């Protein structure tokens, strides 16, 4: 399975989950490491775009990772099985508690969840503390920039 991640250049291969642990995220509390990725480059770009307040002025990379093919390493959760409020904007306790509980269990490498931006697409949250994280490999790293029209003011 392939997964994608847009990051600053210096974080292109980082699977530590430190950034998510510092900030917290939709699927993790602060102090709980997690690595967020998209299962397609397009959803990965959209997910990072919705968090950008302006066009980035620093170099970005989009990294393609190869994840182990063992289905037992992943928990795929469909929207109807997620807690009420999982897609709240901003993220709230429902999704954070669900994901944090899963991360702390260390039962699987990846949690596959629908995207809030586009629920037909999926994201994956990797647990950097799971032993199988060592089997996640970088396939390729590409330069990345958002199309300038994405930041154009609309009237």
- Per residue of the chain (155 residues), give pLDDT as tens: 999 999 999 999 999 999 999 999 999 999 999 999 999 999 999 998 987 767 766 789 999 999 999 999 999 999 999 999 999 999 999 999 999 999 999 999 999 999 999 999 999 999 999 999 999 999 999 999 888 888 777 66
pTM of the model: 0.93
Chain centroid, CA 85 distance in Å: 19
C-alpha to C-alpha distance for 31 and 145, rounded to whole angstroms: 30
Chain centroid, CA 19 distance in Å: 11
In this structure, what token pair is assigned to residue 155?
Answer: 């009237």
C-alpha to C-alpha distance for 125 and 20, rounded to whole angstroms: 10
Facing residues of 114 across strands? Answer: 122
Q: Give the position of tokens 């930041």.
A: 151
Query: What are the start-end ranges of the H helices in 37-92?
Result: 41-49
Q: Give the position of tokens 């709240």.
A: 88
Tell me if 100 sits within 8 A of 28, measured CB to CB. yes
Query: What are the start-end ranges of the H helices in the chain?
Result: 18-23, 41-49, 93-105
pLDDT of amino acid 149:
83
Domain ranges of the chain: 2-151
pLDDT of amino acid 120:
93
């Amino acid at each position: 399975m392939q997964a994608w991640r847009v990051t600053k250049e210096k974080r292109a291969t980082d699977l530590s989950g430190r950034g998510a642990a510092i900030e917290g995220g939709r699927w993790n509390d602060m102090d709980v490491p997690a690595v967020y990725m998209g299962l397609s480059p397009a959803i990965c770009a959209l997910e990072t775009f919705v968090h950008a307040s302006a066009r980035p002025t620093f170099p970005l990379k989009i990294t393609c990772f190869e994840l182990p093919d063992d289905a037992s390493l992943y928990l795929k959760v469909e929207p109807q099985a997620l807690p009420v409020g999982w897609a709240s904007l901003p993220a709230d306790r429902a999704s954070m508690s669900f994901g944090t509980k899963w991360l702390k269990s260390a039962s699987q490498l990846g949690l596959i969840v629908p995207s809030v931006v586009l629920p037909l697409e999926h994201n994956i949250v990797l647990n950097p503390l799971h032993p199988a994280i060592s089997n996640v490999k970088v396939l390729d790293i590409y330069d990345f920039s958002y199309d300038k029209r994405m930041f154009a003011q609309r009237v």
